Structures are given as structure tokens and as C-alpha cells.
Amino acid sequence: MGEVIVVTSGKGGVGKTTTSANIGTGLAAAGHKVVLVDTDIGLRNLDVVLGLENRIVYDIVDVTSGNCRLRQALIKDKRFENLYLLPAAQTKDKTAVNPDQMRSLAKDLRSEFEYAVIDCPAGIEQGFKNAIAGADRAIVVTTPEVSAVRDADRIIGLLEAAELHNPKLIINRIRPQMVKRGDMMDITDILDILAIDLIGVVPEDESIVISTNKGEPAVMDPASRAGEAYRRITKRIQGEEVPLMNLDVPDGIMNRLKRLVGIR
């Protein structure tokens, strides 16, 4: 029996789709049979981040409304043995699917896959309710910014109310330089406020932009720092204990001199 993991955040643009693509790809690379599900109906993006946008024939609405079988809608990623995508519909909106249909879909996915990673849309309305309907566990993504943390807090409350207990946190786009200067909240600050378990921290990294440009998730790039963070998160999802990446900024002479004189 597989596990259905929903990746959510509340706030838009904090990295749900990037995170879903990278942990899905990471889990497949580790040998598991994985399906990635895009529930952002009307504003689909998981397909583009994975580089599979040209291969969409059927989508999640086709499946839930019975227009096609699940197998017909699944896109097999040619780069991996076991990675599949169930894309969102682009020409409908989030009312095209309801939570009961999602629960039924989740049941089917559990019997075929070891992991189903559900990319949740931003917000707390129908899209969110659909995405969490069939989930077994939740990952909340936030950035170290006031609005993102505030929205994450709301989402955590809603997850608990929906009996999705013990959600795990990913802090995304952290900038160690700014943290050091006191201009960005650090890991402890955010954990103090949100009070849930941490499953990973991902640094701000230009390689994410490049990986989306090419449609190749950064988790497969050995030179990418964000990719390394996602590799570790993937291990933790499978139950392994892995230390947090060292995000410390190297402290060269010039940096120390600058701080001494008061130049940031």
C-alpha cells in the first residue's frame, strides 16, 4: 500500500511545485514507484517544471469524471524507471473536481504506487480541500518571510482540523548571508512560531531557475545546493536520519573586515 503525501503552503510562490517535482524525482531515483499529481486545475505547472508539458493527452479531470482510465492519463517520465505524472487540466477550474473524487483517486493511486506526491495549489478554498482530501500525510512549505509564515500557520491549523496530524515543515529559499546579518528569520525563529517538525531546509539557489528553464529538477544535479537539500529531504521522507546541510557562509578576510568597519 502506497503513501499519499500532499505538499501545501497557503501562500503562493514559496516553492510547492518545485518541492513536489524534486522530492518526487528524488524518490523515483531512489528506486520507488512514484506518481506526481498536479491539482492546480486551471494554472498547471508541475508538467512544465518536469519538462513533460509536450506529452499531455488526458488530465486529472478526465480521470475523475470518467472520460478516460487512470492509465491513459499518466505520463511516464522517460528519464526514470518509475516516475509518472498525472497532470492538471488547464481549461477548467478547481470546481471541476470534488474531495470525494480525490479520495477515490487517492485509493487507486495507493494500490499502484509506493508514493503519490500531490502538488497543492495556493489558497485555502476548493483547490486546497481537493488536494488534501486523499492525503495520508502533509508537508508544509514556507519561506522565511512574514506573510509566508503567517499563511503557513493558517494552513497548519486547517490540516490539523482535517485530521492530517503532524505535518512536516520545509523552509525554502533561505539566504544564509541575510540570516547572519539579522535581516532574515532563521530556522529556530520559524520553528518557534510554527511549532511543527522540520523535514528540511532549502537554500536560495539560482540553479532552481536554471533547472526549471530546462525542465530538469535540481535534485538530479550534483552541483546544485538546493538539489542537495532536496536529496536529503528525500532520504528523510523514507525514514532515514540525515543531518541538515551546512548552510554557513564562508567567512573570508574581506567579509570580516567589512563587518568591522560597518559596511554590510
- Comparing CA positions, the residue from 224, 200, 219, 243 lying closest to residue 30 is 219
| Nearer Cβ to another protein (65/177) | 177
- Binding status of residue 107 toward another protein by CB under 8 A: no
In the list 189, 191, 198, 236, the residue contacting another protein (rule: CB under 8 A) is: 189
Binding-site string for another protein from residue 109 to residue 148, where x marks contact by CB under 8 A and - marks none: ------------------------------------xx--
Per CB under 8 A, 186 contacts another protein: yes
Number of Cα atoms under 13 Å in the Cβ half of residue 152? 29
CB distance 169 to 14 below 8 Å = no
Shortest distance (Å) from residue 185 CB to another protein: 5
Interface with another protein by CB under 8 A: which range of 86-94, 98-106, 110-118, 182-190? 182-190
Work out whether 181 is an interface residue with another protein (CB under 8 A).
yes
Positions of E strands within 74-214: 75-76, 83-86, 115-119, 137-142, 168-174, 197-203
Convert 246-263 to b/e letters by CB count within 10 Å (16 or more is b): ebeeeeeeeeeeeeeeee
Measured CA to CA in angstroms, residue 232 lies from 30, 155, 161, 246 at distances of: 12, 24, 29, 12
Binding residue (CB under 8 A) for another protein from 31, 57, 93, 193: 193
> Is residue 168 within the footprint of another protein (CB under 8 A)?
no
**Residue (136 or 153) nearer to another protein, CB:** 153
Q: Distances in Å between the alpha carbon of 148 and those of 40, 114, 117, 153, 155?
A: 19, 31, 22, 9, 10
Q: How far is the CB of 197 from another protein (least distance, A)?
A: 18
Among 121, 102, 110, 114, smallest CA distance to 42 is for 121
Q: Which is nearer to another protein, 93 or 192 (CB)?
A: 192
Q: Which residues bind another protein (CB under 8 A)?
A: 145-146, 149-150, 153-154, 157, 179, 181-186, 189, 192-193, 260-262
